[in-house]
Amino acid sequence: MTKHDSDTIAAIHRELHSHLPSEPALRAKALESLLVEKGMIDPAAVDAWVGAYSEDIGPKNGARIVARCWIDPDLKQRMLDDAARAVKELGYEQSHLIAVENTPDVHNLVVCTLCSCYPTALLGMPPNWYKMAAYRSRAVRDPLGVLAEFGVALDEQVEIRVWDSTAELRYIVIPQRPAGTDGWDEAALASLVTRNAMIGTERDLSARAAADT
């Protein structure tokens, strides 16, 4: 077998295996299949929960809340005063919730140093990096460096506040409303809000606004 043949076979092997689920995904699927077979769970219920908390659907709840806060200053103040009660007004349930607001002088970053506590009802499932030890430790020790890795460059005068989620506390960041969005309706504003912006690993949403104009 020539080196060319070996390289070709290796490339085909990588291509075939690149489409396979990860090992944790395979284990989860096997466990789900076993529980379904034993009649312990309903596959339709599992699909419904995954859909409700997936990365595609879940963050839209939080985005709608942020957009409403941009439009309604009174609601934003109620969010800052008692976020759990304020989101309940809008039909969402997220207990032990605290809202923090980004301003020109303050940037907020959320982390869970112990595990991966997270407001799933508003932001969907937490991203993998949020659960990784590297993020959980470095967000506290080196928030500026972590933000830089996410492409967030802050001026020296901007204060960084790091909030540590726990079993009793969940946080949501209200990002700054991008300039040039005066007169936009709630749906258009919500389309600008990302999950990362509500965690604090994204700050400037103006490029998204410019792309939509």
- pLDDT for the residue 41: 81
- Interior/surface letters 185-202, b for 16+ CB within 10 angstroms, e for the rest: eeeebbebbbbbbbbbbb
Out of 22, 112, 137, 206, which one is annotated catalytic? 112
Q: Give yes or no for a contact between 170 and 94, defined as CB atoms under 8 angstroms apart.
A: yes
Full pLDDT tens readout for the chain, 213 residues = 565 555 555 555 555 445 555 666 677 778 878 888 888 888 777 666 665 555 556 699 999 999 999 999 999 999 999 999 999 999 999 999 999 999 999 999 999 999 889 999 899 888 889 999 999 999 999 999 999 999 999 999 999 999 999 989 999 999 999 999 999 999 999 999 999 999 999 999 999 888 877
Out of 6, 95, 115, 137, which one is annotated catalytic? 115
Q: In 3D, which of 106, 74, 108 has the Cα closest to residue 202?
A: 108
CB-based burial of residue 123 (10 Å sphere; 0-12 exposed, 13-18 middle, 19+ buried)?
buried
Domain boundaries, the chain: 3-41, 60-211
Which amino acid does the sequence have at 78? R
Q: Is 69 a catalytic residue?
A: no
- Output the pTM of the full model: 0.77
Q: Which CATH architecture has domain 60-211?
A: Alpha-Beta Complex (3.90)
